[in-house]
């Protein structure tokens, strides 16, 4: 096959997707700019997914290549396989159950062509229900990617924003195929770190990812989806509990957070050793290592805790919804808790 300069490949992964697949495929066929190929990798579906894809391929106005996995790969590795099979310069990630709005390929392709300094671009999406009805919510709001975080991202602080959680959802992403050299094989040893989280982090530490502030996808929410928008889980800890709980119990979530970011740092260092954004992760690790090793003796905590208060880390790493108040409360908790 002869590849086309700035040609478009779509990597679509399927698994038992018969309920919504046709609607997704039809939305791709209705694009104002058609793709040059659609690569479908099916992860051993037991329903009519393959039949639906095969029927679509017969009359599709572009090349459709269908691959059936010999063994079950699961989401991340299935996307890895699909991406390796894509042959054109620009690649779009595609889920089996969404709806693409008419100008999605055209707008994101144009962005990448006109902005060669970026390898990855992502957009916003409407949340829709199982019947494709609007839920009157948008993806970025659910991901807490609000105006302030968007402004920070545009200003070049994407890695800092990602320290609070991933904001880049795979079904909204397009990138240059050349970027695959930096991210494959997808790491699978980091908890809750799937392909889109890895793409976002690997691109952000190189300042190679930018947002595109348009709603270009209907992101379907339904009971059977493999990955979706899940509300942030949090449990309020009372002041009394903070003062009386066991020291090890207090440190446990901080230790888990530290170990998670250590894994991220080590993995990014292995794949992209000279990435400028590594220092951002390293700075958070220094803060978490201090907090995760606070001694049981409250007096001995004062010096390290004050140091990180005065250099701003308690405010810098406070949850974005808590702001400065959260920073102060965390500082006080580190001094006073059991």
List domains and CATH numbers for the chain: 8-220 (3.90.550.10), 239-336 (no CATH)
Q: What is the per-residue pLDDT for 100? A: 98
Q: Are 221 and 152 in contact (CB under 8 A)?
A: no
> How do residues 318-336 score in pLDDT, each as one tens digit?
999 888 899 999 999 999 8
Q: What are 177's two structure tokens?
A: 């195929």
| Tokens 């309920």, residue located | 19
Q: What is the per-residue pLDDT for 226? A: 53
| Tokens 């400065």, residue located | 324
> How do residues 268-314 score in pLDDT, each as one tens digit?
999 999 999 999 999 999 999 999 999 999 999 999 999 999 999 99
The tally of CA atoms less than 13 A away on the side-chain side of residue 80 is 17
Q: Is the dihedral of CA 281, 287, 288, 290 positive or negative?
A: positive
Q: What is the per-residue pLDDT for 4? A: 77
Residue 11: CB partners within 8 Å, gap ≥ 6? Answer: 39, 41, 79, 82, 83, 85, 86, 91, 92, 93, 94
pLDDT, average across residues 212-221: 98
Higher pLDDT, 52 or 223: 52
Per-chain mean pLDDT for the chain: 93
- Count helices and strands (H / E) in the chain: 15, 9
**Residue 239: phi, psi to the nearest 5?**
-60, -40
**Residue 245: phi, psi to the nearest 5?**
-70, 155
Consecutive H or E run containing 66: strand 63-68
Q: What are 313's two structure tokens?
A: 């880390």
Q: What is the per-residue pLDDT for 231? A: 45
According to DSSP, the β-strands at 134-138 and 120-128 are antiparallel
Q: What is the per-residue pLDDT for 126? A: 98
Q: What is the per-residue pLDDT for 264? A: 98
Q: What is the per-residue pLDDT for 322? A: 87
Q: What is the per-residue pLDDT for 241? A: 63
Q: What is the per-residue pLDDT for 223? A: 76
Q: Are 316 and 288 in contact (CB under 8 A)?
A: no
């Amino acid at each position: 096959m002869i590849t086309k300069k700035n040609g478009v490949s779509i990597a679509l992964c399927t698994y038992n997707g018969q309920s919504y697949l046709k609607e997704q495929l039809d939305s791709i066929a209705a694009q104002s700019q058609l793709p040059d190929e659609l690569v479908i990798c099916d992860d051993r579906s037991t329903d009519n997914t393959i039949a639906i894809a095969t029927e679509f391929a017969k009359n599709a106005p572009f090349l459709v290549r269908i691959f059936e996995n010999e063994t079950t790969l699961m989401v991340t590795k299935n996307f890895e396989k699909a991406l390796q099979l894509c042959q054109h310069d620009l690649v779009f990630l595609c889920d089996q159950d969404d709806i693409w709005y008419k100008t999605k390929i055209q707008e994101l392709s144009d962005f990448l062509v006109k902005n060669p300094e970026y390898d990855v671009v992502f957009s916003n999406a409407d949340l829709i229900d199982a019947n494709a009805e609007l839920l009157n919510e948008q993806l970025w709001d659910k991901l807490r990617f609000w105006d302030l975080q968007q402004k920070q991202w545009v200003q070049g602080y994407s890695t800092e924003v990602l320290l609070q959680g991933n904001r880049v959802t795979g079904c909204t992403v397009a990138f240059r195929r050349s970027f695959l050299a930096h991210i494959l094989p997808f790491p699978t040893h980091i908890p809750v770190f799937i392909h889109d989280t890895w793409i976002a982090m690997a691109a952000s530490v190189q300042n190679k990812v930018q947002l595109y502030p348009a709603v270009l996808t209907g992101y379907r929410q339904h009971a059977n989806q493999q990955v979706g928008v899940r509300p942030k889980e949090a449990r309020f800890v009372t002041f009394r509990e903070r003062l009386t709980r066991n020291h090890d119990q207090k440190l446990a979530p901080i230790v888990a957070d530290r170990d998670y970011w250590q894994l991220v740092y080590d993995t990014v260092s292995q794949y992209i050793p000279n990435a400028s954004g590594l220092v951002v992760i390293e700075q958070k690790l220094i803060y978490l290592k201090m907090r995760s090793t606070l001694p049981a003796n409250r007096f001995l905590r004062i010096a390290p805790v004050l140091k990180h208060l005065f250099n701003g880390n308690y405010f810098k790493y406070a949850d974005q919804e808590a702001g400065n108040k959260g920073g102060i409360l965390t500082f006080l908790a580190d001094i006073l808790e059991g």
